[in-house]
């Protein structure tokens, strides 16, 4: 097993020997990759972070200070920071002009609102043209949400009469709507 001690690190700081760096890579490379995978990264991402980390260690070995912590902690901190940097870059969105953004909405569009408003106006106009007895039944059914039985009881007329007037009103409404389509 490879042993990394302070003497080895000082030797690396003084003379950057590629063979010594190879030993570092063999020891810490797989550990960094495993750490990244355990953290939820996929294999390729973990591999990239490992390579970036080891390259940074090679370039900045002079900055390691043993009084601030262990060598392995220093390397793992570099790896952690690399991962955070990459994730931040991925999550940031490029600037997009607000005029080019189309925001999805569940609200009806203005054209639909206008058509619905026109339709509602036409329905009111058509209902006003119905005979009074039919108009009262339609208004009670739709405005007050009453059943045919409740309408019959309130108007004190037979339920069959309510059904007949409602059917006649529907026929007239259907004929009038043909003109608006």
Same domain, 83 and 25: yes
As a whole number, the mean pLDDT across the chain is: 80
Instruction: Please calculate the CA angle 152-172-161 and round it to the nearest 5 degrees.
Output: 20
Residue-number span of the structural domain to which 166 is assigned: 110-180
d(CA 131, CA 35): 81
Query: Which pTM was predicted?
Result: 0.48
Average pLDDT over every residue of 102-111: 64
CATH number at residue 47: 1.10.1740.10
d(CA 158, CA 155): 9
Q: Which of 60, 91, 122 is the last residue of a domain?
A: 91
CATH number at residue 161: 1.10.10.10
Same domain, 120 and 85: no
Same domain, 86 and 117: no
Same domain, 66 and 128: no
pLDDT for 149: 92
Q: Which of 46, 63, 91 is the last residue of a domain?
A: 91
Is residue 49 domain-resident?
yes
**pLDDT tens sequence across 39-93:** 888 889 999 999 999 999 888 888 888 888 888 888 889 999 998 888 888 766 5
Is residue 155 domain-resident?
yes
Q: How confident is the model at residue 1 (pLDDT cuts 50, 70, 90)?
A: very low
Residue 151, CA distances (Å) to 135, 157, 165, 172 in order: 12, 8, 11, 20
């Amino acid at each position: 097993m490879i042993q990394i001690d302070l003497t080895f690190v000082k030797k690396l700081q003084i003379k950057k020997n590629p063979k010594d760096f190879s030993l570092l890579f063999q020891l810490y490379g797989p550990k960094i990759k495993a750490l990244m995978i355990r953290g939820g990264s996929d294999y390729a991402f973990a591999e990239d972070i490992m390579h970036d980390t080891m390259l940074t260690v090679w370039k900045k070995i002079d900055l390691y200070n043993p009084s601030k912590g262990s060598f392995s902690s220093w390397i793992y901190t570099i790896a952690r920071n690399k991962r955070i940097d990459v994730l931040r870059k991925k999550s940031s969105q490029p600037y997009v002009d607000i005029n080019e953004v189309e925001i999805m909405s569940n609200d009806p569009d203005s054209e639909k609102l206008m058509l619905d408003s026109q339709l509602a106006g036409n329905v009111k106009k058509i209902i006003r043209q119905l005979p009074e007895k039919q108009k009262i039944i339609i208004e009670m059914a739709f405005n007050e949400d009453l059943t045919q039985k409740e309408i019959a009881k309130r108007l004190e007329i037979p339920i069959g009469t309510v059904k007949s007037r409602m059917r006649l009103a529907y026929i007239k409404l259907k004929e009038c709507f043909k003109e608006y389509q």
